Each structure stands twice: as C-alpha cells, then as structure tokens.
Amino acid sequence: MLQRFFGVSIGAIITFLLLEFFIKGDGSFWLVGDATQAYIWAAIIGAVASFFWPIVIAWFLIRRRKARRDNQIQSEVERQMAEQQK
C-alpha cells in the first residue's frame, strides 16, 4: 500500500515537472507540438517513473549496505592486525 502511494506520488511529481518543462512562459509548447502531446508524454514518463522507482531505491540501498559491510569487515581486519602486532 505504501509502495503504491510513493509510486503514484513520484509519478505525479514527475508528470507535473515535465509539464512545467514542456510549457514555456508564454503558454506555447516546446519539444512537443501541442498540449495533448505534452500531457501524453508527461503521463507516460510519470507512469514509467512510478513503476521503476522501487528498483532505483533498491539499487541505492543495496550499494549502501554493501559499503557498510565492507567498512565493517575492513575495521575488523584492522583490529585483528593490531592485536597480532602487540
């Protein structure tokens, strides 16, 4: 449930930001022909982002966990080396 909420929120934010990106200050559109194309592209990209956000977050968390584990292993090796040198 929470994952869906975050997915929808991220998708909505990206859709909004893309619409802001597509619409110029004078109300004309660039990179797309008209308002319909702007809404379609923003909605598609927002939907893709809401689908893939768990994969990106998981990748980040796995890298972070691996770095922590490597640091713990390194500190344990250093501690054991210091004990052996005494």
Give the number of other CB atoms < 10 A from CB of residue 82: 9
Query: What is the total count of domains within the chain?
Result: 1
| Model pTM above 0.75 | no
Give the number of other CB atoms < 10 A from CB of residue 36: 10
Q: Two tokens at 11?
A: 């998708």
Higher pLDDT, 4 or 67: 67
| pLDDT tops 80 at residue 86 | no
Residues comprising the chain, all counted: 86
Residue 22 lies in domain: 2-85
Burial zone of 64 (CB within 10 Å; 0-12 exposed, 13-18 middle, 19+ buried): exposed
> What whole-number distance in Å separates Cα of residue 54 and Cα of residue 70?
24
Q: Tell me: the pLDDT tens digits for 40-83?
A: 888 888 888 888 888 888 999 999 999 999 999 999 999 999 99
